[in-house]
Amino acid sequence: MKIFADSACDLPKEFLEENNVELFTLRVHLNDAEYQDIDPKEVYDAMRQGAVPKTSQVSPEEFLVAFEQLAKNNEEGIYIAFSSNLSGTYNTAVMIATQLKEQYPNFNLKIVDTKCASLGYGLVVKEAVALRNSGLSLDELTSRTETIASHMTQLFTVEKLDYLAAGGRISKSSAFIGGLLSIKPILHVEDGKLIPLEKIRGRKKAIQRIIDIMVERGGDFSNKTVGISHGDDLEFAEEVKSLISVKLNPKSFDITLIGAVIGAHAGPGTIAIFFTDKDYNPQ
């Protein structure tokens, strides 16, 4: 069974290659050039110098080539996709798959809209890999993947509001005033959209508030993995890990660099935390 994901999952290439996960790449547009594969640190460094990168979805051609190969090989597969409310990628994949179904009636591909981003999305992909490796059928795997995605809590705080303003997430006047007051917004993903939750003064206080929210939403962490992704600030991510560990003592942590696609909008210094909510009961 083939698993597909896209580059908004922020998983290391080594993991994807070792586990036979085929990656579709969203594009990053930076300084008048388009990149399919760019080191996220280059994007962050450019943003620190004032660049305003843009992103675009996976091309229809990329989906067509991969999905048609699956159909011709008579294989079954699942594409676990970046939130449809943050990118048109999911809808394009559905369109291509629908067209191929007319040509290949036995084409068996499931497409899951995770409504997740960054490592929250990545943790869903990791769980799907483990489930596939345990021998689940495609239907069972799809159902379980949809369930974990629906229970993924995703909390973000950014270092500078300017980056969100540049991407149209907040107004430029709000970013200016927030910068003067050292306001750090806490955002979460709700129905696949990035939604402001609270405004906190100071980065450390924002993290403490996020940990409080983790207690409220996550319940018992003794059997949970907490994902932490960062905008080129591993040192602070490790500090956040220590704070969470003292308060919640989760089973494990997964720390990764926020990739170029998500990072182009969130900016350097972003910290994002991911975990399944207290209503999630793994089978």
182 and 167 fall within a common domain: yes
83 in a structural domain: yes
Domain limits at 203?
A: 152-276
Same-domain check for residues 35 and 144: yes
Q: How far apart are CA 133 and CA 129, in angstroms?
A: 6
The letter for the amino acid at 147 is: T
Same domain, 158 and 146: no
Answer yes or no: do 82 and 175 share one domain: no
- In the listed set 127, 150, 173, which residue is the last one of a domain according to the structure? 150
Model confidence at 202, pLDDT cuts 50, 70, 90, reads confident
99 and 119 in a common domain: yes
Amino acid at 268: P
Whole-prediction pTM value? 0.93
Residue 281 belongs to a domain? no
56 and 131 inside one domain: yes
Among the three residues 150, 169, 197, which one is the final residue of a domain in this structure?
Answer: 150
Is 282 a domain residue?
no
One domain for residues 127 and 211: no
Looking at residue 169, what is its pLDDT? 46
- Over the stretch 118-149, which tens digit does the pLDDT of each residue have? 999 999 999 999 999 999 999 999 999 999 99
Q: What is the CATH number of the domain that holds 101?
A: 3.40.50.10170
247: domain CATH number?
A: 3.30.1180.10
Does 98 share its domain with 220? Answer: no
Q: Are residues 85 and 130 in the same domain?
A: yes
Residue 201: pLDDT band with limits 50, 70, 90: confident
Give me the mean pLDDT over the 249-271 stretch: 95
Residues whose CB is less than 8 angstroms from the CB of residue 57 and which lie 6 or more positions away in sequence, other chains included? 26, 27, 87, 88, 89, 92
Is 189 within the bounds of a domain? yes
Mean pLDDT in the chain? Answer: 91
Please report which confidence band the pLDDT of residue 161 belongs to, taking 50, 70 and 90 as the band edges: low
The domain tally of the chain equals 2
Q: At what angle do helices 118-133 and 138-150 cross, to 10 degrees?
A: 150
Instruction: Please check the confidence at residue 184 and state whether its pLDDT lies above 90.
Output: no
> Whose structure tokens read 């080129």?
232
Please spell the DSSP secondary structure of 5-20, one letter per residue. EEGGG---HHHHHHTT
Decide which of 150, 178, 212 is a domain's last residue: 150
Closest residue by Cα to residue 160 from 135, 192, 139, 185? 185
Task: Summarize pLDDT for 45-93 with one digit per residue, the tens.
Answer: 999 999 999 999 999 999 999 999 999 999 999 999 999 999 999 999 9
Residues 17 and 107 placed together within one structural domain of the fold:
yes
Same domain, 196 and 172: yes
Q: Does the CA dihedral 208-212-213-219 come out positive or negative?
A: positive
Instruction: Collect all residues with Cβ–Cβ distance below 8 Å to 259 and sequence separation of at least 6.
Output: 7, 8, 9, 10, 40, 118
80 with 220, same domain? no
